[in-house]
């Protein structure tokens, strides 16, 4: 039924599909797609059927396995012992808080205590080290050892550390994969925790990305085609089985997060030109992360099915490694996410900086970018121009979170570039503040942790809780006049 529908609506396209590549003349054609899956092009080289108890198969790309930061007391003890100013008692109590069995949410309390402790790992007390990761020791990030990766030869060279594509092309630049590909929640074959989260949030309305391909010779072979990629304000339409419904219309905004590229098509493979700046939506599973990806020296490759109903592809280029660090780290409480997913974003910072390979900065003599590739899957759609110019809509309710994210990102970049410790802007969640203050009210060792562990401090009314409500410096909710509120008074 879907194919029949397309035959009725797009007779010119169907006629072109049936024509030979050697036709002297053809009519203009257009195909549209909505992106249904979006993620980093991390290649997982696990062996089929490999098992070792409950452990995820290391695979050929990460023979040492995935990240295990904070996965057990021994790993946690190693991290905390790197700060010479911590006492042995503080380390042991952070790992096993006394009286934990007496609180309502022991698992959450343990997580928040550890999250606060690992948020302060600098060369001296008081330095929040997710905002100032350079001020901490490098915890060590397991990196990819495989030579196989998806991506593009972005610099036109074949270097000794470059990857080889699965089909044998040499000189593939995908240093982000080397730096980040062994991170536990990204380990999988498109079905890892964060891969699934990104696609799920996208399909349920966080953002929408569309592509439109057009030409004058034919959708399977065309030497003068055009590819447009960009943001759509229209939410993805799903069918009754939860899949992506085919052939719905989506507007494409020709403003932010939009690029138009020249392309050539051979046997259904679309190869675009390489452009100085390729603007697309970011990979995101949280409103804070959404925005413009901005690939430098960007390219796109698409593989389109002959019937035009589906496709896959790669988007590649150099991205600012500082931007990638902020997007990965500050979508929520950084310390909290590291304790849950066994990541360490301080380690990621050093890995990104170490593997940076593009966007050379003559002033600093260092690279500001890191080569990367994103994978996409697409479903057929009608991609149309908006009736009138439009901007990307702003979610007013979540705007305070976006502003907090941008402020933290700005301070992080400022600190990285100046090597001067920066404060944590009010965010409502960094270092588990003020959540920890609420959760440990019944913990017998409460006073010890409030005294021993560093946290952000703000004047009354400047700090905020997780919902953006003002708080005093002790984490208590207050009104606009500074009066303390009971929990039930908060709307």
Query: Is 316 part of any domain?
Result: yes
Give every CB contact of residue 53 below 8 A, 6+ residues apart in sequence.
Answer: none
Same domain, 214 and 353: yes
pLDDT above 50 for 19: no
pLDDT digit string, tens, across residues 204-251: 999 999 999 999 999 999 999 999 999 999 999 999 888 899 999 999
Same domain, 90 and 36: no
Q: How far is CA 126 from the centre of its chain?
A: 28
Chosen domain end from 377, 393, 409: 393
Same domain, 39 and 84: no
The tally of domains found in the chain comes to 2
Same domain, 309 and 327: yes
Same domain, 377 and 450: no
pTM assigned to the model: 0.90
Instruction: Tell me what the mean pLDDT of segment 140-169 comes to.
Output: 93
Chosen domain end from 345, 376, 393: 393
Same domain, 105 and 214: no
Tally: H helices and E strands in the chain: 13, 13
Same domain, 157 and 136: no
Chosen domain end from 371, 393, 415: 393
Which among 390, 375, 398, 401 has a CA at the least distance from the CA of 231? 390
Question: Quick one: pLDDT at residue 249?
Answer: 96
Query: Is 135 part of any domain?
Result: yes
> What is the rounded CA–CA span in Å between residue 481 and residue 466?
20
Decide the pairing of beta strands 310-320 and 295-304.
antiparallel
Question: Quick one: pLDDT at residue 2?
Answer: 39
The residue segments making up the domain with residue 343 are 30-45+141-393
Query: Is 61 part of any domain?
Result: no
Query: Is 11 part of any domain?
Result: no
Same domain, 120 and 190: no
Same domain, 363 and 388: yes
pLDDT digit string, tens, across residues 35-80: 999 999 998 776 666 655 555 556 788 888 889 999 999 999 999 9
Would you call 369 exposed, middle or buried from its count of C-beta atoms within 10 A (0-12, 13-18, 19+)? buried
Same domain, 150 and 298: yes
pLDDT digit string, tens, across residues 460-485: 888 888 888 888 888 888 877 667 77
pLDDT above 50 for 90: yes
Decide the pairing of beta strands 358-361 and 366-385.
antiparallel
Same domain, 147 and 134: no
Give the angle subtended at the CA of 272 by the CAs of 266 and 274, to the nearest 5°. Answer: 145
Query: Is 50 part of any domain?
Result: no
Give the angle subtended at the CA of 229 by the CAs of 203 and 11, to the nearest 5°. Answer: 90
Same domain, 36 and 87: no
Question: Quick one: pLDDT at residue 17?
Answer: 43
Query: Is 191 part of any domain?
Result: yes
Query: Is 425 part of any domain?
Result: yes
Query: Is 274 part of any domain?
Result: yes
């Amino acid at each position: 039924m879907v194919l029949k529908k397309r035959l009725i609506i797009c007779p010119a396209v169907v006629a072109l599909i049936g024509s030979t590549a050697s036709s002297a003349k053809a009519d203009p054609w257009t195909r549209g797609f909505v992106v249904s899956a979006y993620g980093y092009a991390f290649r997982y080289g696990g062996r089929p059927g490999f098992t070792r108890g409950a452990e995820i198969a290391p695979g050929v790309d990460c023979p040492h396995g995935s990240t295990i930061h904070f996965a057990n007391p021994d790993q946690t003890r190693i991290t905390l012992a790197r700060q010479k100013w911590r006492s042995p008692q503080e380390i042991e109590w952070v790992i096993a808080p006394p009286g934990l069995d007496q609180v309502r949410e022991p698992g959450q309390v343990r997580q928040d205590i550890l999250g606060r402790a690992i948020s302060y790992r600098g060369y001296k007390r008081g330095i929040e080290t997710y905002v100032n990761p350079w001020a901490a020791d490098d915890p060590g990030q397991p990196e990819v050892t495989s030579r196989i990766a998806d991506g593009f030869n972005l610099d036109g060279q074949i270097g000794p550390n470059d990857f080889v594509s699965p089909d044998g092309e040499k000189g593939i630049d995908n240093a982000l994969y080397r730096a980040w590909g062994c991170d536990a929640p990204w380990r999988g074959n498109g079905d890892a925790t964060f891969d699934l989260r990104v696609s799920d949030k996208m399909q349920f309305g966080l953002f929408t990305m569309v592509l439109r391909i057009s030409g004058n010779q034919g959708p399977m072979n065309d030497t003068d085609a055009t590819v447009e990629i960009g943001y759509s304000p229209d939410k993805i339409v799903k069918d009754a089985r939860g899949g992506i419904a085919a052939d719905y219309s989506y507007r494409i905004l020709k403003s932010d997060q939009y690029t138009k590229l020249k392309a050539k098509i051979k046997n259904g493979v679309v190869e675009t030109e390489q452009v100085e700046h390729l603007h697309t939506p970011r990979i995101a599973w949280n409103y804070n992360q959404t925005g413009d990806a901005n690939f430098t020296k960007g390219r796109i490759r698409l593989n389109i099915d002959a019937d035009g109903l589906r496709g896959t592809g790669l988007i590649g280029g150099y991205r600012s490694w500082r931007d990638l660090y902020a997007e990965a780290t500050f979508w929520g409480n950084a310390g909290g996410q590291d304790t849950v997913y066994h990541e360490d974003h301080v380690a990621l910072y050093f890995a990104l900086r170490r593997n940076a390979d593009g966007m050379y900065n003559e002033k600093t003599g260092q690279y500001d970018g890191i080569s990367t590739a994103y994978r996409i899957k697409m479903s057929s759609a009608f991609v149309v121009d908006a009736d009138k110019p439009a901007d990307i809509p702003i979610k007013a309710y979540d705007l305070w979170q976006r502003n907090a994210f941008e402020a933290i990102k700005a301070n992080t970049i400022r600190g990285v570039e100046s090597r001067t410790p920066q404060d944590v802007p009010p965010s409502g969640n960094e270092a588990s503040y003020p959540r920890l203050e609420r959760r440990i009210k019944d913990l017998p060792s409460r006073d010890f942790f409030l005294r021993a562990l560093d946290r952000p401090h703000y004047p009354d009314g400047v700090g905020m809780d997780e919902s953006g409500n003002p708080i005093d410096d002790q984490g208590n909710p207050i009104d606009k006049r500074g009066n303390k509120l009971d929990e039930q008074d908060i709307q």
